[in-house]
Amino acid sequence: MSQRRIGAFICECGGNISDHVDVKRVAEVIEGEPDVAVAKVAMFTCSDATQQEIIETIQEEKLDGIVVASCSPKLHLETFRAMASRAGLNRFLYNQVNIREQCSWAHTHQREGATAKAIRLVRAGIARTRAGRSLETIRVQTLPRVMVIGAGVAGLRAALSLDSLGIEVLLVERSERPGGHIASWGPLFPNNRSGEELISELLDQLHRRSGIQLYTGAEVVERAGAVGDFSVTLRLGDGGDVKRFHVGAIVVATGFSPYEPAAQELGWGLPGVLTLEELRRTLDGAEEGRPILLCMSTAWVVGRHLEPRMGTITAPVSAVARRCTPPCWPTSRTPTCVSTTCIETFAPMGSRSCSWRRPWGEAPSL
Ligand SMILES: Cc1cc2nc3c(=O)[nH]c(=O)nc-3n(C[C@H](O)[C@H](O)[C@H](O)COP(=O)(O)OP(=O)(O)OC[C@H]3O[C@@H](n4cnc5c(N)ncnc54)[C@H](O)[C@@H]3O)c2cc1C
Ligand code: SF4
């Protein structure tokens, strides 16, 4: 195989990357990789001045492929593809490696580990560039029909939006009842609208649209084809009838499964130990006007300490297992805490006939 001349450009992003990743070390290691002719560090790779420097390097060093290790391709893939073109390089011989969102921002307290990960990511980008070849863009006909898989709130909204654009929609729901998790929930954060009402409103809208076909009790069993023309086989109902559809695109909106602790984890399995989702259902079913008090040890909600509360209870809630993470008591949040699920669950309580009224004040907007 002939020798390639690949250039690697490692971005500091003005400290966003270099504060947590040793970018000079990344460049030193990558410079020693097979087929790498140049490895450089830049403060702001997307700046006009740096792009011009990279163009000059491509031409002077006769590079036949480049990798920029920087932010998400969502932000700058096109920027650097255009830069490659201006340098006379096929735009598809450029590859972007994300060492910001997927590395420095994700590992802010582990410089060594983040640096090692960045090196591996850039190596993978080099390997991809090495295997790449010049490509020309082509146009493909796209079927104006989209399959949305999952009819929870996300799938329903996606279907309605696509229909508003004049695109035919096949909405596929595995269960017999559309709406997903929130379909049976009461008030939701942040506007206290009932989940049940929200879903029935969306279903009303959906039934008025002739461009959306809803298949419940249906599941995808096979998919073939490519963007623009996918062939998708559905199993319809318990009878097991299968039917094939052609669609131009697929939206996957299959939602989430609540975290279920292992036996004994946080007292899971003991009476009165609930997940947040179970707590929601308990609260939703609670009598209006009757006090609801949680007997929790401690919890952090929006960074504030909630005092333990005891008293009359609708259901004996002795501890709440968070869906997103192991518990963050007694004093700090774990690094994996997503900081929203507990807010979403507790915030609507403040507006109920409940003795526990937003002890942390107004809930912030997400
Ligand atoms: C305890 C708790 C409290 C929350 N409180 C709030 C709140 O107050 N406010 C708020 O905005 N958000 C809240 N959330 C978040 C909210 O519930 C979710 O963001 C929302 O339900 C996600 O909707 P979804 O449509 O993506 O997923 P889901 O509701 O999970 O729906 C997914 C759908 O896809 C279907 N499906 C799955 N797999 C397949 C398949 N293979 N084929 C076909 N269909 C499939 C499922 O049957 C389901 O109907 C809370 C979450 C939790 C856990
Ligand atoms: S290329 Fe991306 S990572 Fe680099 S400076 Fe620009 S925004 Fe930041």
| Residue that finishes a domain, picked among 252, 276, 305 | 252
Mean pLDDT of 132-144: 93
Ligand 2 centroid – CA 76 distance (Å): 8
Whether residue 20 contacts residue 49, with contact meaning beta carbons closer than 8 Å, is answered with no
What is the tens place of the pLDDT at every residue in 249-268?
999 999 998 777 788 776 77
What is the tens place of the pLDDT at every residue in 173-206?
999 999 999 998 888 888 888 999 999 999 999 9
Specify the residue for token string 């609670």: 286
Instruction: State the pTM of this model.
Output: 0.68
> What pLDDT is stored for residue 277 in this prediction?
78
For the chain, percent of residues with pLDDT exceeding 70 = 76
Ligand 1 centroid – CA 237 distance (Å): 22
Query: d(Cα 158, Cα 260) in Å, to the nearest integer?
Result: 28
1 lies in some domain: no
209 lies in some domain: yes
Question: Considering only CA atoms, which residue is closest to atom 2 of ligand 2?
Answer: 71
Q: Which residue type, as a one-letter code, is found at position 139?
A: R
> What pLDDT is stored for residue 351 in this prediction?
38
Mean pLDDT of 158-171: 98
| Residue that finishes a domain, picked among 131, 153, 176 | 131
**Which ligand 2 atom sits nearest the alpha carbon of residue 79?**
1
198 lies in some domain: yes
- Pairing relationship of beta strands 249-252 and 145-149 according to DSSP bridges: parallel
What is the tens place of the pLDDT at every residue in 97-134?
999 999 999 999 899 999 999 999 999 999 999 999 99
Q: Which residue type, as a one-letter code, is found at position 348?
A: P
Q: Which domain holds residue 222?
A: 145-252
Q: How far is CA 317 from the centre of its chain?
A: 31
| Residue that finishes a domain, picked among 96, 131, 166 | 131
358 lies in some domain: no
Mean residue pLDDT across the chain = 82
- Pairing relationship of beta strands 299-301 and 241-247 according to DSSP bridges: unpaired
- Residue 13's pLDDT band, with cuts at 50, 70 and 90, is very high
Mutate to test the pocket of ligand 1, among 256, 284, 365 (most ligand atoms within 8 A of CB): 256
Q: Based on the domain organization, do 46 and 118 belong to the same domain?
A: yes
* Pocket lining for ligand 1, CB < 6 angstroms: 149-155, 172-175, 180-182, 188-189, 219, 253-256, 258, 276-277, 280, 323, 341, 344-345, 348
Ligand 2 centroid – CA 13 distance (Å): 5
If one counts the domains in the chain, the total is 3
Query: d(Cα 321, Cα 274) in Å, to the nearest integer?
Result: 6
Q: Tell me if residue 332 falls in helix, strand or coil.
A: coil
Query: Is residue 39 scored above 80 in pLDDT?
Result: yes
275 lies in some domain: yes
